[in-house]
Amino acid sequence: MKPKLIVLTGAGISAESGLRTFRDSDGLWEGYDVYEVASPDGWAKDPALVQEFYNMRRRDVRNARPNAAHIGLAELEQDFDVRIITQNIDDLHERAGSTKVLHLHGEILKMRSIHDTSTLFPVEGDIAMGDLAPDGGQFRPHVVWFGEAVTMIEPAILEIVQADLFVLIGSSLNVYPAAGLMDYLRPDVPRYIIDKKIPPVKGHGYHLIEKPATEGIMELKERLQEYITAG
């Protein structure tokens, strides 16, 4: 049995692939007020604007490439049972070769009807107003907007409580309920944080790697090799 390595990733890991972090200090994302383009109220007010915003984000994701951090996590599957819980809506973990990825906030390359949250369809190009699902509902991006339930949080908790090791990469821990997942770790679980600016965390015993994700993954691999040797 390989040790179970649970990894929680945020926008910082994809930033080095050229994808902007979700929210900068001015509360804007690519010049848009996030609540205008990422909330049910924004959708009700101007669905065409929301649709075009995510069409642009989807093009950005398709043009991006996995970086060394994504690839490094996929390579860790040789020695660990790696389960990635990501706050990101891109598919860079999958393209890098990771086989077990749980998306907390949805996936931008999938869409669903406004009437049905569970039946998902792949997005080939853009989603246009007037593109309808089989149930007659307008297609929308399969992403979790502010004010919507994070339905994948319970499956994520089930992964966290089984962790033998835990790694946090590129998350500011500002967005809940994702930021509360670490509260479910068993007290004796070794835990690592990779970030160019370490976020505030509760408790002690964290191994801090204050570097960008692509550099920090190298140091993480060295430390995990020590864990395997000691084990």
Lowest mean per-residue pLDDT among 30-34, 109-113, 187-191 = 30-34
Considering the candidates 70, 93, 103, 105, report the single residue annotated as catalytic: 105
For residues 64 and 56, the answer to whether their CB atoms sit within 8 Å is no
Residue 154 pLDDT > 80, yes or no?
yes
H helices within 64-193, ranges in order? 68-75, 92-96, 153-160
pLDDT, residue 229, reads 82
> Are both 208 and 228 inside the same structural domain?
yes
H helices within the chain, ranges in order? 11-15, 34-37, 40-45, 47-63, 68-75, 92-96, 153-160, 213-230
The answer, as to whether pTM is greater than 0.85, is yes
pLDDT digits (tens, 9 = 90+) for 24-67: 544 556 678 888 999 999 999 999 999 999 999 999 999 999 99
For residue 103, indicate whether it is catalytic.
Answer: no
Q: Which domain holds residue 99?
A: 1-19+67-105+150-231
> Are both 130 and 174 inside the same structural domain?
no
Looking at residue 95, which CATH number applies to its domain? 3.40.50.1220
> Are both 124 and 26 inside the same structural domain?
yes
pLDDT digits (tens, 9 = 90+) for 195-224: 999 988 877 789 999 999 999 999 999 999
> Are both 169 and 188 inside the same structural domain?
yes
Residue 23 pLDDT > 60, yes or no?
no
Instruction: Of 123, 93, 98, give the one whose Cα is nearest residue 110.
Output: 123
The phi and psi torsions of 154 (rounded to 5 degrees) equal -70, -45
> Are both 131 and 25 inside the same structural domain?
yes
